[in-house]
Structure 1
Amino acid sequence: MKPVRILIIEDEPATARQLEYIIEKSESNATIIDVLDSVVDSVAFFNTNNDGVDLVFMDIELSDGNSFEIFESIEVKVPIIFVTAYNDFAIKAFKNNGIDYVLKPFLQEDIFIALKKFKDWFLVKNNEDIQMNNFQKMLQEMQTKNSYQETFLVYSKDKMLPIKTDDIHYFYSENEIVKAFMIDKKSFVIDYTLEKLETLLSPKSFYRANRQFIIQKKSILSISAYFNSRLIVKMAPEFAENLIISKAKATEFKNWVNQ
């Protein structure tokens, strides 16, 4: 059987590696020909390699803009499986060669199903009724999915481990490195900025306390008054530095805890 040439367009390194791993495990006939992270690089690729790829896994929010800008610059002739944390681009995705729309966080099964849809696409691509039926099913599936991240894939020595978001008590950033701290005091490097994590985490459970911390509500042991109307938050597991809530955020923070 002819190898399936797959291009990944994804600006989060951890997600790109996870996609590569799952695709290669799910489809022995697949070849990852490249991994790109920007609109500019993607347009350059399709300018010279439009016929050199069979399938694209594409994120929507890239490092330098929205991936739909790619379609405004050049005609893309291959099917796209969109992989994104946002569920409000489905119709636009379907109009731009989209054959599936996988919401993050995804499981191996999600990618396996998407690859199967790609194979079926060649059989039904000229049947608009079947395509529309599949699209309606896709929208129904998205409405039942949780739009917030439920797991993170992290590295531990030579292995990749999935950790549950609910088991992460806080995220801490130092020297542009973000770590997730667990209840057992273990920590793992996370390939996301705190700004990106804010879009992936449920605001009911997680709060951006300051420039260095995003904390989970259940990790809070106590809250104490501090100088100049600020607050000190004691965490579990305990952290070496004081976690201080500014005066400007103190009321908002207390309201969040009370929810």
Structure 2
Amino acid sequence: MRVLIVEDEVMAQQSLARSLRQEFSDMRIVGTAGSVREAVDWLRTPGNTADVIFMDVELSDGDCFEIFRQVEIAAHVIMTTAYDSYAVRAFEVNSIDYLLKPIDPAALRRAVERCRTSLEHLDASRLLDAIGRTHGYKQRYIVRFNDRIVPVNTSDIAYFYSEEKNTWMVTSDNNRYVMDLSLDILSEELDARSFFRISRNCIISMAAISSVVKYLGNRLKIQARPRPDFEMVVSRSRVEDFLRWLEGGA
């Protein structure tokens, strides 16, 4: 297996490389990167391919999730970090495993075995996810509720909103989940035929709209299902685009 190591701490990079060489004779380290920029450059270089990427979460110029925004990654990703707070986001980008530093040898062997199994046998969940995508738009999100990780299909989402620096997802059955993603990122991932960003603080699903009424200052107010705890108002600058979208012109 060809391995790329993305790690900004030289000692940690060398230690992982040494462990891989000692434990796994079929692993060949084909590249290393210490930053988002270096990783993106390596992945974009013709001829550079990896089967597995060991990826530290916090890099010298940002977090590793920025890499996924800039380049498509086909390799299996094993994330490494000193913190457990990134677990949900790791699942969202289809990381195959999540290792806490210092990396336990048994956990490393488990992660590598998962990669081998997935490379040898087509992973059914990934196939279903690929089939479930429409024109590359996001079809489900992984959210955390207490100690549980919950998959939510986008067809079950009523709206997203931001409040006090948090982003919230509200489902059609009125469950609410806090998310790690901003509304800017969500806007890029969602199908524009089904979701519309009505303001800086809210994205709504077509299916969640009960009615629309005129509001102060040539704006529009939405009555939504489930009923929000805030006034759901379409910004004046987005009214025309919203009406076209509502009529199916998006």
Fold shared per TM-score above 0.5: yes
Q: TM-score, normalised by structure 2?
A: 0.57
Q: Could you tell me which amino acid in structure 1 is paired with residue 40 of structure 2? A: F
Aligned 1:207-246 pairs, distance under 5 A: 207-246=196-235
Deviation at residue 45 of structure 1 after TM alignment: 5.6
* Matched letter for residue 173 of structure 1: S
2:171 to 158, 172, 182: 182
Matches within 5 A, 1:69-218: 69-70=41-42, 79-80=51-52, 106=94, 115-116=116-117, 118=119, 145-146=133-134, 147-218=136-207
Q: Deviations over 1:176-208 (max 9, x none)?
A: 211111122220111211111112211111111
Relative to structure 1, the CA distance from residue 151 to residue 116 in structure 2 (aligned partners, 3 Å threshold; closer, same or farther) is: same
Please report the RMSD computed on the Cα atoms of aligned residues, expressed in angstroms.
4.7
Could you report, residue by residue, the CA deviation over 1:90-141 in whole angstroms, capped at 9, with x for unpaired residues? 6xx6xxxx6569xx77598xx9996436469xxxxxxxxxxxxxxxxxxxx9
Matched, 1:258 2:247: yes
Q: Which runs of 5+ in 2 are unaligned?
A: 21-26, 30-34, 55-64, 78-91, 97-110, 122-128
1:247 maps to: 236
Q: CA deviation at 1:55?
A: 8.6
Residues 48 and 143 of structure 1, relative CA distance in 2, 3 Å threshold: same
CA distance in 2, matches of 1:50, 1:190: 34
The alignment partner of 2:186 has SS state of helix
1:162 partner amino acid: P
For the residue of structure 2 that corresponds to 1:67, the secondary structure is: helix
Percent of aligned pairs with the same amino acid: 22
Paired residues, number: 189
Normalised to the residue count of structure 1, the TM-score between the two structures is: 0.55
Q: Secondary structure at the match of 2:137?
A: coil
**Aligned residue number for residue 60 of structure 2:** none
4+ long deviations beyond 6 Å? 6-9, 82-86, 141-144
**Structure 1 residue matching 2:199: 3-state secondary structure:** coil
